[in-house]
Structure 1
Amino acid sequence: MKKSIPDSIVVAGHRDHNLLTAIAGDILWRAGGHDALATKFAIMLRQCVDDVIMTPKTGRRSYDELEKTEKTYIGTRVEIELRAMLHLPKGKLDTVILDHDVDIKNTMGSNWMIPTEAIDHPCILVAADEVRAKCYLGLFVAHPEYLTFGQNKDSKKSVSALGFSNIFWLLFDHPYPENFWRTIPPDAIDRIFLGKTGNQRMANLFREVQRQPIARDVVQAVAQQQDFMRRIRSDNGRGTRDILAREGILLLSGHYDAPLIAALGLPHCLGSEFVSCRVVSQGEAQLAGTYGISITWNS
């Protein structure tokens, strides 16, 4: 996204204020409030990008490695997922909100391309800044004077400098999850996927990446199996948790093990996240035992 974005001038008295605040209100109601929208939107956007990058299958780690058609598909995927998240119907444009036809535009760059059919209609503007791990969600009426004079070969125009100041922001420069695989050294990724089975890959993952919350989607991608959650549980000594425990490594669930995670001073995990850590003292082993987890500790 652009480094410098002007403050929004969409306030009371602005010609689009009533329309955009009404649409914003409907979106917030559908999402369950601002905080819920921020959480759901950021996770949805991250998944849309990661599902196209497909690191476990392709070895690619970033958006820049995608083919042009794949980058285009992300925009389509965001449109579909956003409608599903907010339970919005399909319309003449991308959706309908409060009886208004609304277009949904996504960018991974610094601007949006507005098609001719969306001119003078409300637009939902979505943006992801992969480098800074920030996301944006804005509302905008595509008046011709808010668009650039130039256009691409498809007759699409971009938002002008004046147009940027006429965006009503729901989320601005909001953190969203960084691409997990960009945080991991390439040699560590290679070691993770050396495993021949789901259990082996899963154990490799939690050996290589400790004291860092790992999302359920990452676990699923590494397991590459339908019943991937079975691999992460204790399983008569064969599960990933059992394997790691014998090595002195705790594998904890944000849903089931939150008190122990907090007691060990590990980063907070969402209910769908997991975190591992090597036990470094008899005291930590005993602490795990008070929560019903038997762990091997070797001084």
Structure 2
Amino acid sequence: MKRSIPDSIVIAGHADHDLLSALAREITQRAGGDAALGAKFSAMLRQCVDDVIMTPKTGRRSYDELEKTEKTYIGTRVEIELRAMLNLPKGKLDTSILGRDVDIKNTMGSNWMIPTEAIGHPCILVAADEVRALCYLGLFIARPAYLTQGQNKDAKKSVSALGFANILWLLRDHPYPPNFWRTVPPDVVARIFEGRTGNQRMANLFREVQRIPITRDVVEAVAQQQDFMRRIRSDKGRGTRDHLAREGILLLSGHYDAPLITGLGLPPCSGSEFVSYRARSQAEADLAAAHGIALDWQPTG
């Protein structure tokens, strides 16, 4: 997305203020409030992109490696997922809100392409900035005065510089979960996927990446097993957690092990995240034992 976005001029008295404000209130209410909108929207975008990159299966680690048709599909996927997230119906355009036909446009670049059928109608503008890990959600009336004069071969126009000021932002420069695999060095990724079984790959993941919350989606992708949650827990000495504990490494769940995560000074984890940590002292091993996890801990050095 553009690094310099003008402040919105959609305030009381603006021609689009009443309609866009009403749409914004409806969207926010459907999401469950401002905080819920930010959390759900950013997670939904991350999922849409990661499901197309498919790092564990393809070896690709970034949006830039996708084929043109895959990039196009992300826009379709975002449209479908956004409607589902907000429980919105299909409309004559992409959806209908408060009885108004609304188009949904997504970009991973710096602008949106507005089709002729959307001109004069409200648009939901969605953007994800993979490099800066930021996302955007705005509302906009696709008036001709807000669009560029030039158009592409499909007669689609972009939002003009003037048009950007006429966007009502629901989320602007909002934190967006980075692509996990962009944060991991290539040699580490290779070692993770050297494992032949789901247990081996998960153990490699949590050996290699410690003190960093890892989402359930990443774990599932690495495990490539339907019963991966069973394997990540203690499983009569056979689970990933059991194998790592024998090496002095804790594998903790944000849902079940929050007190121990806090006690060890690890980053907070959501209920669907996991974090690993190699105990560094007998006191930490004792703390783990007090929370029901027995480690085979030995001093190093």
Could you tell me how far apart the structure 2 residues matched to 1:244 and 1:148 are?
57
The residue number in structure 2 matching 1:51 is 51
Cα separation, 2, equivalents of 1:281 and 1:216: 29
For residue 150 of structure 1, give the secondary structure of its aligned residue in structure 2: coil
Alignment partners' CA distance in 2, 1:80 and 1:256: 33
Deviation at 1:152, TM superposition (A): 0.4
Structure 1 residue 198 corresponds to structure 2 residue 160: no
Deviation at 1:230, TM superposition (A): 1.1
Q: Does 1:90 pair with 2:90?
A: yes
- In structure 2, the residue matched to 1:73 is 73
C-alpha distance in structure 2 between counterparts of 1:226 and 1:74, whole Å: 25
Q: Which ranges of structure 2 fall in alignment gaps of 5 or more residues?
A: none
Q: Over residues 11-32 of structure 1, what are the superposed CA-to-partner deviations in whole Å (9 max), with x where a residue is unaligned? A: 0000000000000000011000
For residues 44-66 of structure 1, what are the alpha-carbon distances to aligned partners after superposition, in whole Å with 9 as ceiling and x for unaligned? 00000000000000000000000
CA distance in 1, matches of 2:273, 2:296: 23
In 1: Cα distance, 2:45 partner to 2:219 partner: 18
Corresponding residue for residue 154 of structure 2: 154
> Counterparts of 1:282 and 1:222 in 2: how far apart (Å)?
31
Q: Within 5 Å, which residues of 2 pair with 1:242-257?
A: 242-257=242-257
Within 1, Cα distance between the matches of 2:273 and 2:90?
33
Q: What residue is the counterpart of 1:164 in the other structure? A: 164
Q: Which residue of 2 aligns with 1:113?
A: 113
Show structure 1 runs of 5+ residues with no match. Answer: none
* Cα offsets for 1:122-146 (capped at 9, x unmatched): 0000000000000000000000000
Q: Secondary structure at the match of 2:5?
A: coil
> 1: distance between equivalents of 2:213 and 2:15?
45
2:276 aligned partner: 276
| 1:131 counterpart residue number | 131
Structure-1 residue corresponding to 2:231: 231
**How far apart, in 2, do the equivalents of 1:229 and 1:158 lie?**
45
For the residues of structure 2 that align with 1:237 and 1:227, how far apart are their CA atoms? 16
Number of the residue aligned with 1:240:
240
SS at match of 2:243: helix
Taking the aligned partners of 2:141 and 2:127, their CA distance within structure 1 comes to 16
Aligned to 2:267: 267
C-alpha distance in structure 2 between counterparts of 1:4 and 1:203, whole Å? 43
Cα RMSD of the aligned pairs, angstroms, is 0.4
User: Which residue of the partner structure matches residue 214 of structure 2?
Assistant: 214
User: Which residue in 2 is equivalent to 1:16?
Assistant: 16
Matched, 1:186 2:186: yes
CA distance in 1, matches of 2:249, 2:77: 38
Cα distance in 2 for partners of 1:84, 1:227 equals 26
The structural deviation recorded for 1:108 is 0.2
Aligned to 2:286: 286
Shift of 1:208: 0.5
Counterpart of 1:166 in 2: which secondary structure?
coil
Which stretch of structure 1 is more off in the superposition, 228-237 or 123-132?
Answer: 228-237
Deviation at 1:227, TM superposition (A): 1.4
SS at match of 2:276: strand
Cα deviation digits, residues 242-292 of structure 1 (max 9, x gap): 000000000000000001000000000000000000000000000011111
Give the AA of the match of 1:205.
L
CA distance in 2, matches of 1:33, 1:296: 46
The alpha carbon displacement at 1:226 in A equals 1.1
C-alpha deviation, 1:228, in angstroms: 1.4
2:18 alignment partner AA: N
Q: Which amino acid aligns with 2:153?
A: K
Secondary structure of 1:138's aligned partner: strand
> So what's the TM-score if we normalise by structure 2?
0.99
SS at match of 1:199: helix
| Mapped partners of 2:8, 2:293: distance in 1 | 53
Aligned length: 299
Amino acid of the structure 2 residue aligned with 1:106 = N
Q: CA deviation at 1:3?
A: 1.3
Q: Give the drift of 1:168.
A: 0.1
Runs of 4+ in 1 over 6 A off after TM superposition: none
